[in-house]
Amino acid sequence: RIRGRCRSGKRMGSVERVAKYLADAQALTSARPVGTGKVIAEMKKLQTWLRKHQDEALPDGSKAQLLTSVQTYYKIALRDPELKDPAFALVDDILKLPEGKLISGKSKKQCLKWIDALTGKAVDEDGGEVCEEAAATRLAVIDVDDEGRCTLMHEACGDTREAVEVGDGILRAAIKAAFETRDSLTVLVSGDSGEVLSIAEDGNRP
């Protein structure tokens, strides 16, 4: 089978390839039982692609897909010791990429926390990262689209929420402006309704 080509026979562009890496990551990690060898092989294939295309620039949507692919492998590695070293190598390669090309600077900061978790820091008694819901939860803003919808990430465990609507127009505009001008941004989200309540205090620092 010829790899790297779509059904029409044309070679995949980077946007299509990143989308396929995400689909493959989700399919492999959701299989029961998980094929550990196949997961490791796919992580290595993604690493090879990252190194080859590190100087290319992806649109924001594809950057988010790429980060989600890495996050998918990271999360399953927390539960499978055999996958921790390959996942560490993958996340470490993400950190070595030129900032703003395939991955954003904000995403790299999240990857640093994943490195800590994979090396044994910030984990619970069962070996997985703590991801508790409180009355109001702090979530990192990792993307804001043109309509003001946010992609949010739980910094403790890496869980993401996509296309989160911000009902208050003033708050939506403030989040969009802050995301574009600050190095990092966190918001407070209601643990019951999932509603974005405000910009968190630690997200107000430039």
> What is the tens place of the pLDDT at every residue in 13-39?
999 999 999 999 999 999 989 899 999
Reported as a single tens digit per residue, the pLDDT across 138-164 is: 888 888 888 889 988 887 677 788 889
3-state secondary structure of 157: coil
Residue 103 has pLDDT above 60, yes or no: yes
Q: How many CB atoms lie within 10 A of CB 126?
A: 9
Residue 52 has pLDDT above 90, yes or no: yes
- Cβ atoms of 153 and 139 closer than 8 Å: yes
CA 87 to chain centre: 13
pLDDT band with cut points at 50, 70 and 90 for residue 110: confident
| pTM beyond 0.85 | no
Mean pLDDT (whole number) for 108-136: 66
- What is the distance between the alpha carbons of residues 87 and 119, in angstroms, rounded to a whole number? 11
Mean pLDDT (whole number) for 102-123: 80
- Print burial letters for 67-92: b (CB count within 10 Å at least 16), e (below 16): bbbbbbbbbbbbeeeebbebbbebbe
- What is the distance between the alpha carbons of residues 1 and 27, in angstroms, rounded to a whole number? 19
Mean pLDDT (whole number) for 67-80: 90
